[in-house]
Amino acid sequence: MRNLGWLRVPFIFTYAFLYIPIAVLVVMSFNASKSPFVWTGFSTQWYTALFNNELIRQGFINTMIVAVGATILATILGTLLAIGVSRYFRSAIVEAYSLAPAIIPDLVLAIGLLAFFALVGVTLSLFSVLLAHVVFGMAFVAAVVIARIGQTDSSLEEASRDLGAGVVTTFRKITLPSLAPAIIAGALLVFTLSLDEFVIAYFTNGPTTPTLPIVIYSMVRFGVTPEINALAALLLLVSFTIVISAQRITRLTDAV
Amino acid sequence: MTLDSTNAPLLRVSSVSKAYGDVVALDDVNIEIQQNEFFALLGPSGCGKTTLLRSIAGFEDPDAGAITILGAGSGTGSGPGEGGQIDLLSLPPNKRPVNLMFQSYALFPHMNVRKNIAYGLEREGLGKDEIAERVNEVLITTGLTDKADVRPAQLSGGQRQRVALARAIVKRPRLLLLDEPLSALDRKVRAEMQIELKRLQHEVGITFVVVTHDQEEAMSMADRIAVMHEGRVQQIADPVTLYSQPANVFVADFIGTGSLLHGIVANAVLLLRPEAVHISAEMAGAQLHGEVVETHFFGGSSTTSVRVAEMETLIVASHPGAPKFAVGERVGISWNADDAILLEDQP
């Protein structure tokens, strides 16, 4: 590593700024005291309390339904979108519009979707949240896959055809495997984004099926409890695991 | 090569044309390629040679004309129409008894060398044992046996080219098309692979059609060459004929080096190859006089460039040994009438 010189100072400050709050949160989740500000001893009681909290458990199940469903749908649709846009349109404008849901503000997307669901008469429920997450998730998957298609040799598919494979076999044996790292990375990205998405879920959800971020939000309005700290620490663990495994997978398959 | 095989035509390209909007890529192209021939499509970039190759393989659809495999001989290739004529343009790329080696090699990155080579045979639905046997055979022919379980990313440029070649010839096509097969290799490996390609072509007995923009490459490998320019075939001939009897100014200029002189013979262009030009201090009896402007020494031989007053083109002479004249010296230029080539002056 190169010597940073005086740049070391802002570097350390930036990292401290980023990670001290997270570290405090994780440490406090093991605090025996109910006060989030005073350390009185080590305890895992808040984790136990967390697992016994019916609201949180239901919120977690709802979130998983949305995240898993949205990931599957967004991955399939996003991959097809990416292939279509880069194979058949070759237009920068079409490509930009297909990626827009990933860029436009959540609030705008949320209000737009709410209006749309009202217009076509979709009852707000977990299903409408799932559809809403598919909308932006698809754009993220498409963005990652389009980048990958740009790097792959377009003659691979022609070579497959030349060697006697039909269109379907070529897609299954050549196109999909060569895009697999990007598809997996995109899927994991959608999963983590959906897991803690608040704004869109808040707008498009029905009243009886809150997702985990909405549950947390309503709990925090009455003050941050150590239980919330424990929950946040767990979410952190899940996100880190997914991000690191996504990197591993892309690196492993890229090294071929 | 047997007499029989040289006389049997294998592929006929007749009156093929193709345009992209206003750009004409192929303009009434007619070519006949013989069995077991090493044929080259030569021309500058944009001359249509790659479009023609891709039309034969099935990745471009000509606007007009026909491309036919003629059934003569006992080709080992599989596919429809064995023994009779095959209208290539009516078949999708995966049903044509021809294979294309791509310029980028297009090796499948997620498969090892053995899997890459076996891919085409698996598509034919052959049995496992037969596939393994044929793959092993071709691994030996191309010297890749110890690389069989390696992925393409771990191979050198020359090795990748061999895999691409192995993957195509294992299919035993009637015709193997090669798109700029050597352009991705560095100079030294390229020279080795030229010899290697030639050897393999003899060994496997497959007709090769190579696309290249490199005239030296085409001249040293091919039995016959079609020189293309602006979508048209300019001349089809063996390398020696192309060099000594070019059909027009374009071919004369593109193949080899030489000085194209206007105005010496009425309504014609005179082509002087460097080895046909004699220069001497003797002015009497020389056809032209000029001043030496440049000399190059290549070790075994050298070239001398001479400027003749009121002539745009320099006249280049080559001769064995070191340069005989210094820059600035006045020399006389002469040549045998038999060695000069007369070409029609094109508008």
Buried/exposed code over A61-78 (b: 16+ C-beta within 10 A; e: otherwise) = ebbebbbebbbbbbbebb
Per-residue pLDDT band at A256 (split at 50, 70, 90): very low
Query: A177: distance to nearest CA of chain B, Å?
Result: 7
Vertex B120 angle, CA B115 and B124, to 5°: 125
pLDDT at B50 over 80: yes
| DSSP state letters, A81-145 | HHHHIIIII--HHHHHHHHHHHHS-HHHHHHHHHHHHHHHTPPPSHHHHHHHHHHHHHHHHHHHH
pLDDT at B7 over 90: no
**How do residues B292-323 score in pLDDT, each as one tens digit?**
999 999 888 999 999 988 788 889 999 898 88
3-state secondary structure A197-242: CCHHHHHHCCCCCCCHHHHHHHHHCCCCCHHHHHHHHHHHHHHHHH
* Interchain contact, A160 vs B153, CB within 8 Å: no
CATH superfamily for domain B258-344: Nucleic acid-binding proteins (2.40.50.140)
In this complex, the residue of A155, A173, A255 whose CB is nearest that of residue B106 is: A155
What's the confidence (pLDDT) of residue A2?
A: 67
**How do residues A240-255 score in pLDDT, each as one tens digit?**
888 888 777 766 555 4
> Could you tell me how far CA B202 lies from the centroid of its own chain?
17
Per-residue pLDDT band at B207 (split at 50, 70, 90): very high
pLDDT at B336 over 50: yes
Query: B78: distance to nearest CA of chain A, Å?
Result: 11
CATH superfamily for domain B3-97+173-249: P-loop containing nucleotide triphosphate hydrolases (3.40.50.300)
Give the mean pLDDT of B54-59. Answer: 95
Per-residue pLDDT band at B2 (split at 50, 70, 90): very low
Q: Output the average pLDDT for chain A.
A: 88
Best of B59, B61, B108 to substitute, by most chain A Cβ atoms within 10 angstroms, is B108
Give the mean pLDDT of B15-34. Answer: 93
Structure tokens at A86: 């880069």
Interface of B with A (CB under 8 A): 57-59, 92-95, 99-100, 102-104, 106-110, 119-120, 123-124, 151-153, 167-168, 171
Place of tokens 């471009």: B60
Per-residue pLDDT band at B243 (split at 50, 70, 90): very high
Structure tokens at A102: 């990933």
In this complex, the residue of A156, A166, A255 whose CB is nearest that of residue B108 is: A156
Give the mean pLDDT of B115-129. Answer: 94
**How do residues B67-112 score in pLDDT, each as one tens digit?**
999 874 444 444 444 557 889 999 999 999 999 999 999 999 989 9
Q: Where are the beta strands (DSSP E) in chain B?
A: 9-20, 23-34, 38-42, 64-69, 86-87, 98-101, 175-179, 207-212, 224-229, 232-237, 259-262, 268-272, 278-280, 288-297, 301-307, 315-320, 330-334, 341-344
Provide CATH 2.40.50.140 ranges for chain B.
Answer: 258-344
Between B188 and B211, the more confident residue is: B211
What's the confidence (pLDDT) of residue A250?
A: 67
Provide CATH 3.40.50.300 ranges for chain B.
Answer: 3-97+173-249
**How do residues A150-181 score in pLDDT, each as one tens digit?**
888 889 999 999 999 999 999 999 999 889 88
Residue of B11, B46, B45 whose CA lies nearest to B30: B11
> How long a stretch of residues is chain A?
256
Give the mean pLDDT of B223-237. Answer: 95
Determine the topology of domain A54-254 in CATH: MetI-like fold (1.10.3720)
Quick one: DSSP state of residue A33? Answer: S
CA dihedral of residues A228, A234, A238, A241 (deg, nearest 10):
140
The region that residue A252 occupies, defined by phi over 0 for left and psi between -120 and 50 for alpha, beta otherwise, is alpha
For a pLDDT cut of 70, what percent of chain B falls above it? 94
Q: What ipTM was reported for this prediction?
A: 0.82
What's the confidence (pLDDT) of residue A253?
A: 58
Which residues in chain B have Cβ-Cβ distances shorter than 8 Å to A256? 109-110, 151-153
Structure tokens at A110: 């949320």
Which residues in chain A have Cβ-Cβ distances shorter than 8 Å to B104? 153, 155
Residue of A59, A202, A204 whose CA lies nearest to A131: A204
What's the confidence (pLDDT) of residue A31?
A: 84
What's the confidence (pLDDT) of residue B38?
A: 94
What's the confidence (pLDDT) of residue B81?
A: 45
Sheet of B341-344: strand order equals: B259-262, B268-272, B341-344
**How do residues B129-166 score in pLDDT, each as one tens digit?**
999 999 999 999 888 999 999 999 999 988 999 999 99
What's the confidence (pLDDT) of residue B238?
A: 95
Decide if B65 contacts B13 (C-beta within 8 A).
yes
